[in-house]
Amino acid sequence: YLANQRQGTHKTKERGEIKGSTRKIKRQKGTGTARAGDIKNPIFRSGGRIFGPRPRDYTQQMNKKVRRLARRSALSSKVAGGNVLIVEDFTLEAPKTAEYAGIVSKLTDATKTIMVTSEVDKVLHLSSRNLPKTKVSSATDVNTYDLLNANTIIIQEGAIAALVDNCK
């Protein structure tokens, strides 16, 4: 998951890409110093980089069944550890961060939490997005990394069936 988040836009110039003359700097023999070709040689300041980084794609493909197995395993390990709370469905009237923070602090004292809802709830998302290490996700959008990264998983009752279907 984290490898797929990498941007991969790193790039440095190699000696063929640097602007400058290809004139030989000094003669080959007789100066007592190391032989040198053009000024773009990597041994010189402002010279090209030897085998520098190139832009590349870091994404790694994973089978759908393997991803589901990982999600199921992560969820079962959290359940076995007693880090899953099931609450009845609720919505907030307006996006209030303090109200959401109060609800979560009453439920758990964990620093990193994820709340799994049955469908995308814009008000809950807006209420939680300013809180550090807190995430609200729908049951269909939750991923293995978020489940493993959270200390406590709060699941709404309506999301349990969708979450189980997502892990099958």
**34-76 per-position pLDDT tens digit:** 888 999 999 899 999 999 999 999 999 999 999 999 999 999 9
The answer to whether 25 touches 39, Cβ cutoff 8 Å, is yes
User: Band of the pLDDT at 91, cuts 50, 70, 90?
Assistant: confident
Is-contact 127 95, C-beta < 8 A?
yes
Strand order in the sheet with 84-87: 84-87, 152-156, 113-117, 134-138
CA distance 139 to 73: 16
Residue spans per domain, the chain: 7-59, 64-167
Whole-model pTM over 0.85: no
Nearest 5°: CA angle at 87, between 86 and 90? 145
Superfamily of 64-167 according to CATH: Ribosomal protein L4/L1 (3.40.1370.10)
